[in-house]
Amino acid sequence: MPITVGHDTAKTRKTLTVGDKSYAYYSIAAAEAAGLGDFSRLPAALKVVLENMLRFEDGKTVSVDDIKAFSEWADKGGKTPREIAYRPARVLMQDFTGVPAVVDLAAMRDGIKALGGDPQKINPLNPVDLVIDHSVMIDEFGNPRAFQMNVDREYERNMERYTFLKWGQTAFNNFRVVPPGTGICHQVNLEYLAKTVWSDVDQNGEMVAYPDTLVGTDSHTTMVNGAAVLGWGVGGIEAEAAMLGQPISMLIPEVVGFELTGAMVEGTTGTDLVLKVVEMLRAKGVVGKFVEFYGAGLDTLPLADRATIANMAPEYGATCGFFPIDSETLRYLRNTGRDEDTLALVEAYAKENGFWRDADYAPVYTNTLSLDMGTIVPAISGPKRPQDYVALDRAADAFFNVVSEFRGEDETLAATDMASEGPTPDALVDPRKSAKVDGEAYELRDGSVVIASITSCTNTSNPYVMIGAGLVARKARELGLTRKPWVKTSLAPGSQVVSAYLEAAGLQEDLDAIGFNLVGYGCTTCIGNSGPLQPEISKAINDNDLIATSVLSGNRNFEGRISPDVRANYLASPPLVVVYALAGDMNINVAKDPIAQTPDGKDVYLKDIWPSSQEVAELVEQTVTREAFQTKYADVFKGDEKWQGVSVPKQETYDWPATSTYIQNPPYFQGMGAEPGTISNIEGARVLAILGDMITTDHISPAGSFKDSTPAGQYLTERQVPVREFNSYGSRRGNHEVMMRGTFANIRIKNEMLDGIEGGYTLGPDGQQTSIFDAAMAYQDQGTPLVVFGGEQYGAGSSRDWAAKGTNLLGVKAVIAESFERIHRSNLVGMGVIPFEFTGGDTRKSLGLKGDETVAIHGLDTITPLAEVPCTITFADGSVKEITLKCRIDTAVEIEYIEHGGVLHYVLRNLAKAA
């Protein structure tokens, strides 16, 4: 389908000849020559956005003044308040977020039909790729049949969802599905889908070259920025709007420059580097900003490591972490099988249009910071947040304090303080517990590693750390070592290419020998699909309140995410995951002390099994080949026999199965009128929850398993779904009834209205403790609006649209917090829920909120972007407090979204009216 660009502006539209091919392109140098400003000092990441403005400039949605604002950005030191309309080239989805997005599109077809419009107007205008990667669960592990058994169970659990997605592939234009068992969406994107520079014909039939850009319904869409493809995560709501031609409204971002110098030293990995980067950028504060990496250190940093750093942008809070195009970009594209025409275009376009990084690259940044990569040491992060960085040689000491914190001991030291001199654990009261496991010859204790998983897009896309993990396994196997019997081990590569090079190197056999058998191609443990622990182990942990741990090569370690049996979760490189499986205990200082013993009783240390950088590099060179990528991606959309056997009817609208517990027609558009409403003041609202700092979207809308005693479990039980078939919240995101009941239902969330209670509970209208869902429904029956209070960084984590959808469906009209993470704020607005921030030093704590207050917010009927409005809090004793809130409706178009009840309502009404 031809791309649509703005009107043909002769001043900026030029021709680029590459070999025997010619391309039109929008020239930044020509824009300068036309007097639109000086853009030479812009960072490459911002030049991508500028090019987008040049290409879509139409005098209306994008104006000449929008373009000139980029020059002003550089003049003013990297800041401008200008609102722009940005149009990404394509959209990436995974199945957890993709199913509800396709549900919404199907519901919009019903909705536009009810408004008298044409259902065919609900079709993606931009290419959409959906990769099924979030559904495989680790039921079976540690044996050769694990992969096939997990795949079989995946299809058993998810056939309704897969049938629905395959219907979507036939019903919608520009919509492709990558079947289960292929890989993780971000790795498939990096290794195959992305091109760095794209080309397509426009509405005039002329071939146009332009930067490859995208948004994705997963926060780690940022990974592809390692290959100079500008992309970031958005909620499904915003992605659907982008698919349907709605530009993304955003402010021209600040760009923080992160200078990398020096080179990595022996014994360290790209994972160690990214964990330090996350810590530094979280401390710096980059929420809502671009981060661009530059400096001489990039000359020695392979693209696989760049992708690891870019992947974890959500963990350091940035919109994206971008690496400009250079010779390493070309090397990676060639090695992963891209054709020579694409490579030639990328190089010529980047050099011609000012995107190329060379020795003279020195743009203006809003702010900068620097890191000498020669100072990086082996490290892990945990137990609750990716930014909780701990040097490996201090990890055991730090864990002692984690136990103290969990136990509520007074003698605790913060883990971040452990690197400094001070009291040692020996001087403190030891709070650790242990317990015998029924029928086993071992004990578990606080710190026992019960899950060790090589998983997730962050690291399994990096052959240096994957080959490194295989070499650790080989050396351990040669010494007669294996995993500890209580450790659930797993290997879930991000693509089939990983298996190809591990097998070519003979390393998969070594990994198998110590328990790291292939369990599936997907996110698995990182998304919470770690599967059940051995029942006796689970029982020992829960009966004795043990603090069991997991070690995973992922990007998320939030509370309650990895496993309901595990309270402390650590992020580590794949080689260190293997090491901890051998040690089996977080209390062991694996950097210094013996990890394990050989069968004849000899101590084994880390140095005995850790490969050299040269060993790793030589195997990568030998086994990670262009041919492997070309072979594995040759039939990427075909799928296996199971996928090919999924049959679906070809029909324009979806025939919603009334008895389905996976797919239901959502209520968003039912009874919707042709015209929007107005924004009303909030009167007489009650408090549904008071939440603390760093409340993640996992807290708000968990993705993992749930019990039959929960509201979601009760809903399924009433419909005769056995517990074994509950699957997970993530897999049931196509059913709003399940997801409403799962909102604020994380097992570790703490509502400060209650004293020390964990889980999704609150006080109902009668003042009695009940589930958040039941309380919300009781308030809805009374016609009472609700508000939620929060602390700092509210909504951190995944680009989880259900965290906003569930909030909306519970009847919450406003969320009032100290600060918001970017994606969740946008999602709330997209669902018609208004975010507010405290001002003047007010917080939930300073106000002494208990949850029995009544809240009124005025000034909304005349609201403007980022306006301050009055809020009246009436306490239970009748006293009244007036405070001022900052309304985080950030742009003018977002006001329209709220008036319509959400961005999809806005798009649907406009499409219905269009001729």
Query: pLDDT digits over 135-157, tens only?
Result: 898 999 999 999 999 999 999 99
The average pLDDT across 42-64 equals 95
Is it true that the peptide bond before 383 is cis, omega within 30 degrees of 0? yes
Q: What is the pLDDT of residue 429?
A: 65
pLDDT tens, residue by residue, 563-609: 999 999 999 999 999 999 999 999 999 999 999 999 999 999 999 99
Please say if the pLDDT value at position 777 is more than 90. yes
Q: What pLDDT, on a 0 to 100 scale, did the predictor assign at position 813?
A: 98
Query: What does the pLDDT average to over 29-47?
Result: 96
Q: Can you tell me the distance from the alpha carbon of 547 to that of 163, in angstroms, rounded to the nearest whole number?
A: 40
Mean pLDDT of the chain: 93
Average pLDDT over every residue of 166-170: 94
Q: In this structure, what token pair is assigned to residue 226? A: 């390692």
pLDDT at 8 over 60: no
Q: How confident is the model at residue 427 (pLDDT cuts 50, 70, 90)?
A: very low
Domain 90-375 superfamily per CATH:
Aconitase, domain 3 (3.30.499.10)
**Fold agreement (90-375, 379-627):** yes
Return the number of other C-beta atoms located less than 10 Å from residue 8's C-beta. Answer: 12
End-to-end CA distance of the chain: 20
pLDDT band (50, 70, 90) for residue 762 = very high
Banded model confidence at residue 377, pLDDT cuts 50, 70, 90: very high
CA angle 147, 148, 150 (to 5 degrees): 65
pLDDT digits 0-9 by tens, 447-462 = 999 999 999 888 988 9
**In whole angstroms, what is the distance from residue 746 CA to residue 743 CA?**
8
Tell me the pLDDT band of 915, cut-offs 50, 70 and 90.
low
- Give the pLDDT confidence score for residue 683 in this predicted structure: 97
Residue 422 has pLDDT above 70, yes or no: no
pLDDT tens track for 892-901: 999 999 999 9
Mean pLDDT across the stretch 796-811? 91
pLDDT above 80 (res 408): no
Q: What does the pLDDT read at residue 416? A: 38
pLDDT given at position 421:
38
Q: Give the closest residue to 798 by CA, choosing from 104, 233, 189, 387.
A: 233
| Rounded distance between C-alpha atoms, residue 850 and residue 845, angstroms | 9
Residue 648 confidence (pLDDT) above 70: yes
**Three-state SS annotation for 398-456:** HHHHHHHHHHCCCCCCCHHHCCCCCCCHHHCCCCCCEEECCCCCCEEECCEEEEEEECC
Mean predicted confidence (pLDDT) in 678-690: 97
Q: How far apart are CA 496 and CA 498, in angstroms?
A: 5
With 80 as the cut, is the pLDDT of residue 25 above it?
yes
The yes-or-no verdict on residue 420 having pLDDT over 80 is no
- CA dist 459 and 835 (Å) reads 34
- SS3 percent helix, strand, coil of the chain, rounded to 5, is 40, 20, 45
pLDDT of residue 823: 83
pLDDT digits (tens, 9 = 90+) for 515-556: 999 999 989 888 888 999 999 999 999 999 999 999 999 998
Determine the pLDDT at residue 4. 60
User: Does the pLDDT value for residue 494 go beyond 60?
Assistant: yes
Give the CATH number of domain 682-701+743-913.
3.20.19.10
pLDDT at 882 over 90: yes
- 142 vs 581: CA distance, rounded Å: 12
Highest average pLDDT, of 73-82, 240-249, 846-855, comes from 846-855
Nearest to 101 by CA among 208, 15, 188, 215: 215
Query: What pLDDT, on a 0 to 100 scale, did the predictor assign at position 418?
Result: 36
User: What pLDDT does 460 receive?
Assistant: 87
Residue 238 confidence (pLDDT) above 80:
yes
Taking CA atoms, 345 is separated from 192, 212, 251, in Å, by 17, 12, 30
On the question of pLDDT at 10 being above 70, the answer is: no
In b/e form, how buried is each residue of 455-487, taking b as 16+ CB within 10 angstroms?
bbbbbbbbbbbbbbbbbbbbbbbebebbbbebb
Quick one: pLDDT at residue 3?
Answer: 62
Per-residue pLDDT band for 423 (boundaries 50, 70, 90) equals very low
pLDDT digits (tens, 9 = 90+) for 335-365: 999 999 999 999 999 999 999 999 999 999 9
Collapsed DSSP state (helix, strand, coil) of residue 292: strand
Give the model's pLDDT for residue 428.
Answer: 53
Sign of the torsion angle spanned by Cα atoms 217, 218, 224, 226: positive
Of 484 and 11, the one with more pLDDT: 484
In this prediction, residue 799 carries a pLDDT of 75
Name the H helices within 422-553.
457-460, 463-478, 496-504, 507-513, 535-543
The confidence score (pLDDT) of residue 622 equals: 96
CB 553, CB 465: distance < 8 Å: yes
Structure tokens of 7? 């009107």
pLDDT value, residue 9: 57
How far, in Å, CA of 619 to CA of 433, rounded? 43
- Calculate mean pLDDT across residues 252-266: 97
What pLDDT band is residue 162 in, cutting at 50, 70 and 90?
very high
Q: What is the mean pLDDT of residues 272-285?
A: 96
The CATH T-level fold of domain 379-627 is Aconitase; domain 3 (3.30.499)
* Domain residue limits, the chain: 90-375, 379-627, 682-701+743-913
